[in-house]
Amino acid sequence: MERIIAYCGLACDECPAYLATQADDNQARARIAAEWSEALGADMKAEDINCDGCLGAGGRKVGYCSMCEIRTCAVERSLENCAHCSDYACEQLKGFLKGAPAAQALLDGLREAQRG
């Protein structure tokens, strides 16, 4: 499977919601909804678990991804992801990355690769 790196550095291609959607796996959707409801203190249902990845304007987005300000900024700037931004890492992204060290490592690695 091709890597799909979200604007914020999360790996969409590793996300259980993305994988369940692409496989059209309703049992996985139900399991993820239950897990995320408990972990996030939310009331998620299996039908809420539909995602085609956050890149681009179209496609289904799960939960917060559809209104994410980091995503909105990157789309407006026509970026592949935040690693390609001249303002990397902005305060908003830094705040997010505090809770997502794997995403930061991925974005940092992409920036290093750009430098050659």
Please list the residues that pair with 11 across neighbouring strands: 5
Q: In this predicted structure, what is the pLDDT of residue 1?
A: 62
Q: Which residues of the chain have pLDDT under 70?
A: 1, 56
| Domain residue limits, the chain | 12-115
CA distances, 44 to each of 38, 58, 74, 96, 100 (Å): 9, 22, 27, 22, 22
What token pair was written down for 65? Answer: 């991804």
Question: What was the pLDDT predicted at 61?
Answer: 86
